[in-house]
Amino acid sequence: MGSQVSIIRPSYLPEIELFRPSSIDGVFECIKDGARVLAGGTDLLPWASQHGQPRKMVWIGNVEPLHGFSVDDERLQIGACVTQGELIRCADFRRAAPAVADSVQFVGSVQLRNQATLLGNVCSASPAGDTLPALLVHEAQVEITGAPGQERQVSLDDFLLAPGKTMLAPGELASGVSFCGLRANEMSAYRRHTERRALDLAVASVAARLVFEADGYTVAGARVALGAVGPTALVAIEAAKSLVGHPLTGETKSICAAIAAETCKPISDFRASADYRRQLVKVLVEDVIGEIEQRARIFKPNGEGR
């Protein structure tokens, strides 16, 4: 037996040729030239240190339009350069998308959130990416710019293909993400399991968004999404459907949790085994719904309790 794999490359950032265009056009020129897009850099730079590449990067922070960030009742629009820290500090954002706000606060630390962008977490497409299940239940759409002026919207569910893989084609830029804000009688939440309380990757995670009937208890609509239990964050369609038309009871919650646990596709790795991850999904689904119930009472339509 012989082998050609020679060494473990010492972990240091390679010499990077950095481009800093101030227009989208400029960004595309660099991309065409083989540069990788650098936004917050909290995923890309450690990766580059370990692998010794990419060595050409185009930083998009100078492109003014990519810093756009708007919250209205219908939809939130988040530009590619908006950091997670900026989002958390915005009370309107926290009110409009509680699950996403929950999830962002689990990412890294204060320092990292000040650097990392929301879209960066999306494009890294980690199966355990915290914001992904939350964005899925808020029906996120990724804005892909193929060339200057050529934009299309892709649902996040379609956008995520495999661990670290998205449908972003060579030469394309993910320029923003948009998602639904809460409407009347809606609430969302995100929970995860980690071994440590901070600085950890989710072993399993669950987000849910529920729409209630006017009675405040019967579920009129539901979205449930799961993280770290499949090659990508998953929408648990069947589990969500099981809640619709029923009031939230111990039984409906546990049915929903059981379906979610059955339908997810976890793997075993050094962080946890597949069957433990299923168990966590079961527990977390009930916990998240419990959290929504608690929060929803505060937001009852007649404003009682606020």
Partner 1 sequence: MNSRPPLSTASFRERALAGARYAADIIPPDTVLAEIVRSPHTHARVKRIDSRATLAVPGVLAVLTAEDFEGIRLGHLCADEPILSSVARYFGDGIAAVAAKDRQSLMRGIEALRIDYELLPHAITIDDALASPVAIHDFCADNIAEKFQAVRGDWQAINSRVALWVENTFETAAIPHAYLEPRACLVRVDGKRLELVCGSHAPSMMADFYRPIVAGWGSQLEVVTPAIGGSFGAKWEHPSQLVCLLFAQRLQRDVAMVLSRRDDMIAGRTRAAMRIRMRIGATAEGELVAKETTLWCDNGAYSLHGPAVMKAAAIRGDNLYRFSAIKADAQLVYTNNMPSECFRGFGITQSTFALEQLIDELARRLKLDPAKLRLSNTVREGDTAVHGWKIGSCGIADCLDGISNRIDRHRRDNALPRSERYRTGYGLAAFIHCIGNRGYDKRFDRAFVTLRTLPEGGIRISSGEVELGCGTVEVLIKTVARELATNRDQLEVVLGDTATGPHGMGSYASRTSFFVAMAALDACRRFKRAAEQMRVEFGMTKPAEIGELVARARQQQRLGDLEVTGDYQPSGVVVPDETGYGNISAAYTFGAHGCCVQVDTYTGKVTVTQYWAAHDAGTIVNLNETQGQVIGGVIQGLGFALTECASVAESGQLLNPGYLDDRVPTFPDAPPVEVLFTDTYEKKGPAGAKTIGEPPIIPVPACIANAIRDAVGVRVYQLPMTSERLWRAINDDDARSGPKGN
Partner 2 sequence: MSTGKYLRVNGTEYQIPGQWLGRRLLDYLRHELRLVSVKEGCGEGDCGACTVFVDAEPMCACLLLCGVVAGRNIITVEGLPQDFRQRFAQLCEKHGGLQCGYCTPGFTMMSAWLSGGGTETGKDPLDKLLAGNICRCSVYQQLKKVVAELT
Instruction: Name the residues that contact partner 2, by CB under 8 A.
Output: 11-13, 15-18, 20, 22, 38, 41-42, 45-46, 49, 57, 59, 61-62, 64, 85, 88-89, 91, 94, 105, 108-115, 197-199
Smallest distance from partner 2 to CB 58, Å? 11
Binds 20, which of partner 1, partner 2, none (CB < 5 to 8 A, cut-off by type)? partner 2
Number of residues that bind partner 1 (CB under 8 A): 34
User: Is residue 3 within the footprint of partner 1 (CB under 8 A)?
Assistant: yes
Tokens of 294: 């608690």
Handedness of CA 103, 109, 111, 115 (dihedral sign): negative
Smallest distance from partner 2 to CB 2, Å? 33
Binds 302, which of partner 1, partner 2, none (CB < 5 to 8 A, cut-off by type)? none
124 or 185: CB nearest partner 1: 124
Of the ranges 138-146, 191-199, 245-253, 289-297, which one interacts with partner 1 (CB under 8 A)?
191-199
Q: Which residue has the tokens 């990766």?
A: 47
177 and 142 Cβ atoms separated by less than 8 Å: yes
Answer for which of 50, 77, 114, 218 binds partner 1 (CB under 8 A) is 50
Smallest distance from partner 2 to CB 99, Å? 15
User: Is residue 110 within the footprint of partner 1 (CB under 8 A)?
Assistant: no
112 or 258: CB nearest partner 2: 112
Of the ranges 57-65, 113-121, 276-284, 293-301, which one interacts with partner 1 (CB under 8 A)?
276-284
The contacts of residue 297 (CB under 8 Å, 6+ apart) are 216, 305
Q: How many residues does the chain have?
A: 306
Q: What angle separates helix 274-298 from helix 250-263, to the nearest 10 degrees?
A: 140
210-217 own/partner pairs: CB under 8 Å, 24+ apart = 210/186, 210/243, 210/248, 210/289, 210/292, 210/296, 211/183, 211/185, 211/186, 212/185, 212/186, 212/187, 212/296, 213/185, 214/185, 214/301, 215/247, 216/185, 216/296, 216/297, 216/300, 216/301, 217/247, 217/248
56 or 246: CB nearest partner 2: 56
User: Is residue 302 within the footprint of partner 1 (CB under 8 A)?
Assistant: no
Of the ranges 141-149, 188-196, 211-219, 242-250, which one interacts with partner 1 (CB under 8 A)?
188-196
Burial of 147: CB neighbours in 10 Å, binned 0-12, 13-18, 19+: middle
Q: Which residue has the tokens 């950890």?
A: 200
Q: What does residue 145 show for φ and ψ, rounded to 5 degrees?
A: -105, 120
Q: Could you list the residues that contact partner 1 (CB under 8 A)?
A: 1-12, 14-15, 49-50, 52, 193, 195-201, 203, 270-273, 276, 279-280, 283
